[in-house]
Amino acid sequence: MPGTFGDSSWNDGNLHGFTTAKSKGNLGGSPGANSKCSAEFPGSWLCTEADYDLANTTIGPPVGGAWVDLPRNTDGTCRFYGCYYGNTTSAVWSYGGQQTGNSGQSGAVLTVAGDYTYAGCDRVLPLACCARR
């Protein structure tokens, strides 16, 4: 896992691939998301949008897309939040239910076109996993 998130001076990330295991947005928080990536690609973490962009890869996600993390501050905290319930922003990637209008009930998804969108946390998707080169 990277030492300082969001700082382009360290970001030499490389896309390792997309998990074969698919999950809803309740990934067990950021540590759980990173563990899911590392289980299939040792030493990897859930890619942020910036990780994927800077990897400059031609490999796109499977049909339906893949979960990606939102930008992070240099101290590793989330700059934006996804897949949490209500106002519990400290519980990022901890909600896997349907959208009911509350904040945080969607997460960032890399589309097959290489764009980013948001999907309800009840979607079952693989994870985009990155690691240092």
pLDDT at residue 36 in the model: 97
Q: Is residue 20 part of a domain?
A: yes
CATH of the domain at 48: 3.10.100
Query: Residue 33: in which H helix or E strand, if any?
Result: helix 29-40
Q: Is residue 7 part of a domain?
A: no
Q: Is residue 88 part of a domain?
A: yes
Q: Which domain holds residue 47?
A: 13-132
For residues 112-126, b (16+ Cβ closer than 10 Å) or e, as one string? eeeeeeebbbbbebb
Q: Is residue 5 part of a domain?
A: no
Q: Is residue 6 part of a domain?
A: no
Q: Is residue 97 part of a domain?
A: yes
Q: Is residue 3 part of a domain?
A: no
Per-residue pLDDT of the chain (133 residues; tens, 9 = 90+): 443 333 343 445 689 999 999 999 999 988 899 999 999 999 999 998 888 988 888 888 999 999 998 877 676 666 666 777 665 556 788 888 888 776 678 889 999 998 999 899 999 999 999 987 6
Q: Is residue 1 part of a domain?
A: no
If one counts the domains in the chain, the total is 1
pLDDT at residue 89 in the model: 56
Q: Is 3 exposed, middle or buried (0-12, 13-18, 19+ CB in 10 A)?
A: exposed
pTM of the model: 0.84
Distance from C-alpha of 128 to C-alpha of 17, rounded to nearest angstrom: 6
